[in-house]
Structure 1
Amino acid sequence: MQAAQPLPPEEPGRASAPAAELSDRDRRILRFEQGWWRHPGAKEEAIRAEFGLSSTRYYQILNRLIDSDAALITDPMLVRRLRRLREQRRAARSGRRDRVEE
């Protein structure tokens, strides 16, 4: 009987199996979101040029994507940052809406 061979160490930054569930477009969107934009208009133009999508459709896809486990496994820091920003925006909108209703 032979001794079990040790498993090779995981490569840093290499995603596990669930990340394979991401489409090429989803992986491109995550890479795109790693960038920083000085002006909102510049990002909207880049979205149209890179993906051929309206900014509304892009953000619908992005919101679905950052809720997925596959995206979280692929780039946990980015996905957590995007989720946090989304929640801050929702809270700000909710606060404005509450003030208007009073």
Structure 2
Amino acid sequence: MSEGAVSVGGMSEGSVSGSGLSARARAVLALERRNWSGPGAKERAIREELGLAPVRYYQLLNALLDDARALAHDPVTVNRLRRVREARRAER
């Protein structure tokens, strides 16, 4: 499957967990749980560990924030990122 054709939930490349999330979706959430020294380090990890362009990564992440399976899998991370997203939207 090509990078652009990757699904966010359970119907994508990689194994599907009991939560219904693909391996890639779980990896995106795991990357978001980590602390970063700066944006360069995070972007490098996105490219090297996930094989994604940062723009595609953030598209997948944004879709994951609206996915109930992601919330069930990692509620702390998803709720934190939802709050950040809403705060940024409110600033606009």
Q: TM-score over 0.5 for the alignment? A: yes
Over the matched positions of the two proteins, sequence identity in percent amounts to 53
TM-score norm. by structure 2 comes to 0.76
Cα displacement (A) at 1:91:
2.2
User: As a proportion of its length, which structure holds more helix?
Assistant: 1
Q: Deviations over 1:60-101 (max 9, x none)?
A: 000101110000011111100011111122223x1xxxxxxx
Structure 2 gaps, min length 5: 1-17
TM-score (norm 1): 0.69
Q: Report the aligned-residue RMSD.
A: 1.1
For the pair shown, the structure with the greater C-alpha radius of gyration is 1
Moved over 4 A (4+): none
How many residue pairs were aligned?
Answer: 75
Unmatched 5+ stretches in structure 1: 1-16, 95-102
Note if 1:68 corresponds to 2:61.
no
CA distance in 2, matches of 1:89, 1:47: 22
Q: Does residue 81 of structure 1 match 2:80? A: yes
